[in-house]
Amino acid sequence: MSLVLHHQDLSKLITELSEKWPVYGPKKERNEHEVRLELLTSAKNLSLNNSSSIVPPKKFLFPAKEVLILFEKNKLKKPAQTELILLGLNRKDAEGLFCLDKLMTTPLLDDHYAEKREKVHLIVIDSLAPSNNLNCDLYLQRVDQEHYLVFPFGGFGGKIAKSKLFSHDGDVGTISTRHLPDNVIYHPRLDEIVENSRDHPVWDRLAETCFNCGICSYVCPLCYCYETEDNFEITSNIEKDCKGCRNRAWDSCMLPDFNKVTFHNFRPKMKDRIYNWYYHKFVRMPREYGFPGCNGCGRCITACPAKINYREVLKELIKDEQK
């Protein structure tokens, strides 16, 4: 007997959960193509058609700008974290968060991220079966227009699955939606090909087109570079009145100042910064973590003002290497 949720009860589930926690999810905006991760009160406008929000779910764990520590006199204080549910992420986005969890916790633990992560619970909705690369609490697999198969994970998922909205409804079956492997990102020799492409003309060409804007990093669910800044008030009695905060904000290795160390910029050329973006994602990360720094979500392609498509770049490198 499978645990099942009826599609008509999805709104009731959101209402039920909202009584205890804020529930966020992908919502359709004015036009069908614009999806944002917003507060939900019902399933109205919930986007479940696999289209991802342009700002990725990392914003709940590693926001564009955040306060890390507040300090006053000689006391340090951390801002309180809110417990929340992220509902309706597709499997790809959930796998992206799984990778980000690894990046932010190994080999060094980002304790600020880890504290937030404990408070963010995931409910994934997708037509594909759950994979092993998910840190989610509940997985709803859409098997037809009417039903979701329910897979709870861990204590929090088990607690949610006790709701009367879920039923042991007999055999609704599963659909066999095949997950096709991405033969570009997972090309077996991609790391070697990118590593050896340093003198390929594509990097000069991209350097002429790219705006240096960093948007491709900001929208990427797996980019995690940041800068920190201390802000404090200087008063005449600094010991008595000193107060301020340490902030962090997204940064991008595409930006000219990212590579500045005191008076020296160790990657002043755009061409080198672009190569480094690809090198980190497709050479270093597969070797260091066992997965590429890309889950194929396509956000950087949609958002790039210069219409640069990293897949076309990789395909060109693969093709030229075969010649």
Whether the CA torsion 215, 114, 96, 58 is positive or negative: it is negative
Smallest distance from ligand SF4 to CB 6, Å: 33
Nearer Cβ to ligand SF4, position 13 or 128? 128
Residue-wise over 208-234: b if at least 16 C-beta within 10 A, else e?
eebeeebbbbbbbbbbbebeeeeeeee
Whether the CA torsion 212, 215, 221, 224 is positive or negative: it is positive
Nearer Cβ to ligand SF4, position 9 or 126? 126
Would you say 4 and 149 are in contact if contact means Cβ atoms under 8 Å apart?
yes
Q: Residue 13 has which token pair?
A: 């589930």
Q: Residue 294 has which token pair?
A: 């890309």
In angstroms, the Cα distances linking 302 to 34, 52, 271 are: 11, 11, 22
Nearer Cβ to ligand SF4, position 161 or 306? 306
Largest pairwise CA distance in the chain: 74
Rounded to 10 degrees, the C-alpha dihedral 86/91/96/97 comes to 30
Smallest distance from ligand SF4 to CB 36, Å: 16
Nearer Cβ to ligand SF4, position 165 or 223? 223
Smallest distance from ligand SF4 to CB 309, Å: 9
Nearer Cβ to ligand SF4, position 69 or 255? 255
Nearer Cβ to ligand SF4, position 214 or 286? 214
- Which residues in this chain contact ligand SF4 in the complex, by CB under 6 A? 210-216, 219-222, 254, 294-300, 304-306, 308, 310
